[in-house]
A and B are shown apart, each in its own frame.
Chain A
């Protein structure tokens, strides 16, 4: 209950002050360009990577990108660019 209340207060503050949500919640940002390129920001780490599947840990959930010939063009501590043919993007909690 205490955690839920804290979350509600935080979201109220963020909403009323119009603070950027990705910074305040540490939320993942997935920018997909067409079917061939995805930019994932605010991720925590790589859990699994094969040509068909990339599984990433983010703050609240795991993001899984499924596709064909997936290639990580580059990745840094908080940003990753994936190219290839993307079939689906799945959010697991």
Chain B
């Protein structure tokens, strides 16, 4: 394959050989290292391919073997160039193309970020843009080493960064420090805080890991009530308050709460019926300016429009400033309809089911469902109460009260005074 390309680039001819001793000619060619290929015997002559360079060396061999040679066909680039030598614009275009290719290769056309788990690609690319590293920057303006340092100093959790240029791509390899991320969370736990009730509930279970529990199983609490206190009182032997120890309250508190469910809808409704009529229109967003392409005007009385945007991009992340939007307008009309009793009940049932599923997705366990669905006359009504078990504790930052020092001091003064009075 490669040899064929090379032969084409160098140019070759297909020739016909006839005369007194063609076999001797062939042997002499081999001895003179002249390559001959696709050698074929015809009735009274031979046909073969030979490179231009080889062809020029044939004259003495031809004379020696008393053979004659006729060129049948010319192949290859040198002949093509010669044939099209007058097509100046073609050669000009080729030169311009080469120049354009070279010029384009001087810029960065794609920034590839890999190895990032917590930081998104777009966040890093945005940060780079702020530091004047963007799609389309001159390669010569880039300092990869400085960029690596910049990334490491900006993001604390990036512990290793490698920036290299591959062709017109800027490859950024990162390694994030996963250990420091989890360490960051533990630091927060040092600040004292309490757990309070998020809503009115009856405590279902409470498991305290740290802090002072103030409620028991079965206690009814109101929203905002303190459940676990992060301040642990310390008493001395005579049951006097000596000091407080502050901690980050931590507990699993489940409470029974109830949700009121109310859903009323009329049995008469209007239904959207699509007529099947559609119209397509196109818009072009160019350099932040919207251009409407002049066809496919929407003249429906009522219609839904579905848009689909196609941003033009080179590579994965280099977006050109053009966005083509296709809009499909679908005509519809409203038709009055009435739900039957069973239809209305299934609809209400489905809505209730959706509501319950949404609750369960939040990690809530439903224990009682007392919702009644009634459809009569003109409306369908679903109402009732859903009892659930859910986590009720929310965190509230605790206040470190530095009272004990004052109290002790005051107490001390009081005793002194009393002593003085006695004396």
Contact = CB atoms under 8 A, between A and B. Distances in A.
A76 B30 contact: yes
Given A47-B23, A48-B23, A49-B23, A71 B30 contact: no
Contacts of A93: none
A46 B46 CA distance: 13
A47 B30 CA distance: 13
A76 B35 contact: yes
B35 A74 contact: yes
Contacts of A76: 30, 33, 35
A86 to B, nearest CB: 15
Interface in A26-77: 45-51, 70-77
Chain A interface main SS type: strand
Contact of B38 (A45, A51, A71): A71
A46 B27 contact: yes
A49 B36 contact: no
B27 A51 contact: no
B31 interface: yes
A46 B23 contact: yes
Q: How large is the interface on A (under 10, 10 to 19, 20 to 34, 35 or more residues)?
A: 10 to 19
Nearest to A44: B27
Interface residues of B, number: 15
B26 interface: yes
A45 B36 contact: no
A84 to B, nearest CB: 10
A71 B36 contact: no
B30 A75 contact: yes
Contacts of A51: 40-41
Interface string B27-48: 1001101011111110000101
B26 A74 contact: no
A46 B35 contact: no
Contacts of A47: 23
B346 to A, nearest CB: 73
Interface in B216-254: none
A54 B91 CA distance: 47
A72 B46 CA distance: 11
Contacts of B27: 45-46
B37 A49 contact: no
B33 A77 contact: yes
Interface in B189-238: none
A70 B39 CA distance: 9
A51 B46 CA distance: 10
Contacts of B41: 49-51, 70
A39 to B, nearest CB: 14
A49 B33 contact: no
Interface of A: 45-51, 70-77
20 contacts: A45-B30, A46-B23, A46-B27, A46-B30, A48-B23, A49-B39, A50-B41, A51-B40, A70-B41, A71-B38, A71-B40, A72-B36, A72-B37, A72-B40, A72-B48, A73-B38, A73-B39, A75-B26, A75-B30, A75-B39
